[in-house]
Amino acid sequence: MIRALYTAVSGLISQEAKQDVITNNLANINTTGFKSNNLVIKKFDDVLLQNYDKKVNGKNVKNTLGSISLGSQIDEVTTDFSEGQMQSTNIDTDFAISGSGFFTVTRNNQDYYTRDGHFHIDNQGYLADDSGDRVKGTNVNTNKGENIFIGSGKLSCDDSGLIAIDGKPSYNLNIATFDNLKSLQKIGDNLYSGTNPKAATGITITQKSLEQSNVDVMTEMVNMMSVMRTYETNQKIVQYLDQTLSKTVNEVGAVR
């Protein structure tokens, strides 16, 4: 009985965590370049049930009853890196990537990666994201990686990521990719941390456009309803077990 209670409660915990992921996806429907998450749930390893109630030749021997699952647990949170739709903005500092790649930005001298190309020129003339992290590029004159300085110049960019300032080629956007996208970790502010980045190939940069979130509203709503029903089922099981335990303690064997 107690084992069944633990199994049902583990289901409640898993479904609550899944609901949090779905809620976060829905909250980021309008977040530029956002990639939806999915919570993967797995069951605990089965355990073998056995006792010594069986008797052979007057002796108790081991009797294998079978296996039982102890409930569900959270396995991992995966990210769907499929592309969102492109939307034209007619703003010079907006960029979108087609293909497997990420813009590189710097924060506290550390490189991070994002699909959010909604940039602006900060007070010091550098190309930066909404959090103030500066966009990184390669200076075409020195071939060194540095933060992209626009100043008061006119910005333009071709589909390869070559940025020209007042018509003069100045920087190549540092577009990074990774052999294993699952290794990327979301750190907030629509940024990812990752190791061993390499230059992306086969990508196209579109200026004056942004990539929309890839969250599918209908799918998330269906998932939310499924989670709610599963949660309610586990909740009813817990209530039933609680009532059964109450009767066992208070009524079974009671002197009348």
Predicted pLDDT at 101: 96
Residues 55-101: tens digit of each pLDDT: 777 777 777 766 766 667 778 889 999 999 999 999 999 999 999 99
Q: How far is CA 41 from CA 13, 48, 104, in A?
A: 11, 22, 32
pLDDT, position 1: 56
Q: Percent of the chain at pLDDT above 90?
A: 69
Q: Left (φ > 0), alpha (ψ -120 to 50) or beta: where does 66 sit?
A: left
Return the domain boundaries, the chain.
2-80+215-250, 86-211
Residue 253 clears pLDDT 70, i.e. is over it: no
- The CA dihedral of 24, 29, 33, 38, to the nearest 10 degrees, is 40
C-alpha distance from residue 112 to each of 65, 184, 193 (Å): 54, 10, 5
Q: How far is CA 196 from the centre of its chain?
A: 20
Which pLDDT tens digit goes with each residue over 136-181? 999 999 999 999 999 999 999 999 999 999 999 999 999 999 999 9
Helices (H), the chain: 2-27, 217-250
Mean pLDDT across the stretch 240-246?
Answer: 80
Q: pTM to 2 decimals? A: 0.81
Place of tokens 């999915």: 38
Give the tens place of pLDDT for each residue, 170-210. Answer: 999 999 999 999 999 999 999 999 999 999 999 999 999 99
Instruction: Report how far residue 108's alpha carbon sits from residue 58's, in angstroms, rounded to the nearest whole number.
Output: 76
